[in-house]
C-alpha cells in the first residue's frame, strides 16, 4: 500500500516528519520539486538507492542526482568544489541547476552509476527542502517508469508507482516542468550535459562560455555522466513526430501529417502553441515557460486519450526552448520532419 501525503495547501511539518522517517528507514518516497516529481531515497544508503533502480527499471549505469538543502552538504559529497560551482550556487541555488563534481568516497557507487563523479543540486521547492532537512541528502531521479515522460503531477506518479513505493507527497503541479540543467564542472572546461530548467544563457552570463556535450545534440555515447544522456527517455506509448522549421511552414506540415495519418485510420493527437484540428489536441501555451511546464503533461495526457500518433510542434531553441527541444527529440526517438 502506498501512502498518499496531501500537501497541496502548504507544508505540514508533521507529515514531513513522517515522510522523512520513511527515507531514513531506507524506503522510497516521491516528492515534488520545482522541476518535476522525484523518486527519493537516502543517497548514502546503497541498498535504498538500489530500490530506486529496481522500481523504475532504470539501467544501473545511469547516474542519479543527489538533492541537498544547504551548500555545506556539497562539500560532504564532492571532493572538490571549483570556483565556478561557488559562483553559480550563489546566483542560482536553490534552483534547477545540477553540478557534476568529483565524488567523495562516502557516496556509494550505486548512486553515481559507478562513476568517479557525483551530480548534486539544491531544489527550490519548499516541500523538497523541508524533506531533505528533516532527513538526509536524497538521491532522486524523476518519479516515472524509466523511459516514460517525467511526472509534473502527483497523479502521474500514482499512475506509475502506486503500490510499488512507500509514499507519494502530493504538492500539486510543478512550476517549471522540465528537469534541471546539468553542468559538468569536474574537468577543465565547464560542459553542458543536459539543458533544463535554467537556460544556458543565464549560466554563461555568470561563468562565461560553456561547451555543449555531443550527447545533447543526439550523439550516441557509451558512458552517461548525467541522467538523460544515454538511454531512451520521455517517450509515451504513442509514436511521436516533431515538426521543425519556419513557423508558417510548420503549421502547413502539421496539417498535412494529420490528414496523412488519419487517412490510414490512425488516431492523431497534436500538441502545439496554437489550435489545430485533430482527433485530440493539447494546447502547450504561448510562452517558453508555459510550453516547458506543459510538455510532459501533454505527452501523458494524449497517451491517456488513446492516440496512436502525436505530432508535436517544434519551438525556437533558445532559453527554455533548448530544454524543450532536447526532450521532444528524445521522446520522438529523433523522428523529425522539417518544414
**pLDDT tens-digit profile of 122-150?**
999 999 999 999 999 999 999 999 999 99
The reply to whether 222 falls in a domain is: no
Following DSSP, what letter does each residue of 314-336 receive, concatenated? ---SSTHHHHHHHHHHHHTTT-E
| Pairing relationship of beta strands 37-42 and 138-139 according to DSSP bridges | antiparallel
The pLDDT value recorded for residue 250 is 97
The pLDDT value recorded for residue 131 is 98
Rounded to an integer, the average pLDDT of 152-167 is: 98
The reply to whether 86 falls in a domain is: yes
Q: Are 323 and 254 in a shared domain?
A: yes
Rounded to an integer, the average pLDDT of 89-105 is: 98
Q: Are 57 and 163 in a shared domain?
A: yes
Q: Are 187 and 256 in a shared domain?
A: no
Q: Are 93 and 29 in a shared domain?
A: yes
| Pairing relationship of beta strands 117-121 and 97-102 according to DSSP bridges | antiparallel
- For 142, the 3-state DSSP assignment is strand
- Residues 6 or more apart whose CB falls under 8 angstroms from that of 187 comprise none
Strands in 3-6's sheet, in edge-to-edge order, are 3-6, 167-170, 29-32, 37-42, 138-139, 65-67, 117-121, 97-102, 181-184, 191-194, 211-212
- Residues 6 or more apart whose CB falls under 8 angstroms from that of 293 comprise 152, 173, 174, 175, 176, 177, 285
- Measured from the Cβ of residue 220, the count of other Cβ atoms closer than 10 Å reads 8
Residue span of the structural domain in which 96 resides: 3-217
pTM score, whole prediction: 0.95
Q: Are 280 and 196 in a shared domain?
A: no
Q: How many CA atoms lie within 13 A of 313 on its CB side?
A: 27
CA 211 and chain centroid, separation: 21
Rounded to an integer, the average pLDDT of 156-167 is: 98
Q: Specify binding-site residues.
A: 35, 58, 62, 67, 117, 121, 140, 142, 150, 180, 194, 234
The pLDDT > 90 percentage for the chain reads 92
Q: Specify binding-site residues for L-threonine.
A: 35, 67, 121, 140, 142, 180
Q: Are 248 and 126 in a shared domain?
A: no
Strands (E), 185-226: 191-194, 211-212
Q: What is the pLDDT of residues 14-71, one digit of tens each?
A: 999 999 999 999 999 999 999 999 999 999 999 999 999 999 999 999 999 999 999 9
Average pLDDT value over all residues in the chain? 95
Q: Over the Cα atoms of the chain, what is R_g?
A: 20
Domain count for the chain, please give it.
Answer: 2
Q: Specify binding-site residues for ATP.
A: 58, 62, 117, 150, 194, 234
Q: 242 pLDDT exceeds 90?
A: yes
Rounded to an integer, the average pLDDT of 243-265 is: 96
Q: 113 pLDDT exceeds 60?
A: yes
CA-CA distance, 54 to 59, in Å (whole number)? Answer: 9
Strands in 336-338's sheet, in edge-to-edge order, are 280-283, 268-272, 309-313, 239-244, 336-338
Q: Are 256 and 131 in a shared domain?
A: no
The pLDDT value recorded for residue 218 is 80
Q: 192 pLDDT exceeds 70?
A: yes
The pLDDT value recorded for residue 248 is 86
Q: Are 243 and 203 in a shared domain?
A: no
Which CATH number is 260's domain given?
3.40.50.11030
CA-CA distance, 20 to 29, in Å (whole number)? Answer: 9
* Of 80, 101, 322, nearest in space to 197 by CA: 322
Which CATH number is 135's domain given?
3.90.870.10
Amino acid at each position: 500500500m502506498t501512502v498518499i501525503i496531501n500537501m497541496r495547501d502548504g507544508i505540514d511539518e508533521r507529515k514531513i516528519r513522517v515522510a522523512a522517517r520513511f527515507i531514513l528507514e531506507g524506503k522510497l518516497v516521491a516528492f515534488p520539486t520545482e522541476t518535476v516529481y522525484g523518486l527519493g531515497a537516502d543517497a548514502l544508503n546503497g541498498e535504498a538507492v538500489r530500490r530506486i533502480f529496481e522500481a523504475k527499471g532504470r539501467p544501473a549505469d545511469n547516474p542519479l542526482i543527489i538533492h541537498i538543502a544547504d551548500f555545506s552538504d556539497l562539500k560532504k559529497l564532492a571532493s572538490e568544489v571549483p570556483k565556478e560551482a561557488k559562483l553559480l550556487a550563489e546566483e542560482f541555488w536553490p534552483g534547477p541547476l545540477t553540478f557534476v563534481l568529483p565524488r567523495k568516497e562516502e557516496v556509494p557507487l550505486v548512486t553515481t552509476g559507478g562513476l568517479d563523479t557525483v551530480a548534486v543540486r539544491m531544489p527550490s521547492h519548499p516541500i523538497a527542502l523541508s524533506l531533505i532537512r528533516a532527513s538526509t541528502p536524497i538521491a532522486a531521479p524523476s518519479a516515472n517508469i524509466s523511459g516514460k515522460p517525467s511526472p509534473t503531477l502527483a497523479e502521474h506518479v500514482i499512475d506509475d508507482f502506486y503500490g510499488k513505493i512507500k509514499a507519494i507527497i502530493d504538492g500539486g503541479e510543478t512550476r517549471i516542468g522540465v528537469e534541471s540543467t546539468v553542468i559538468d564542472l569536474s574537468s577543465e572546461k565547464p560542459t553542458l550535459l543536459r539543458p533544463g530548467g535554467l537556460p544556458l544563457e543565464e549560466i554563461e552570463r555568470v561563468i562565461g562560455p560553456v561547451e555543449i556535450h555531443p550527447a545533447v545534440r543526439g550523439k550516441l555515447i557509451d558512458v552517461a555522466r548525467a541522467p538523460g544522456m544515454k538511454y531512451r527517455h520521455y517517450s509515451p506509448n504513442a509514436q511521436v513526430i516533431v515538426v521543425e522549421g519556419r513557423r508558417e511552414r510548420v503549421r502547413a506540415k502539421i496539417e498535412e501529417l494529420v490528414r496523412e495519418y488519419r487517412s490510414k485510420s490512425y488516431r492523431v493527437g497534436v500538441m502545439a502553441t496554437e489550435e489545430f484540428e485533430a482527433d485530440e489536441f493539447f494546447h502547450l501555451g504561448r510562452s517558453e515557460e508555459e510550453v516547458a511546464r506543459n510538455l510532459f503533461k501533454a505527452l501523458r495526457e494524449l497517451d491517456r486519450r488513446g492516440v496512436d500518433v502525436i505530432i508535436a510542434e517544434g519551438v525556437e531553441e533558445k532559453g527554455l526552448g533548448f530544454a524543450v527541444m532536447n526532450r521532444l527529440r528524445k521522446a520522438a526517438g529523433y523522428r523529425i520532419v522539417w518544414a
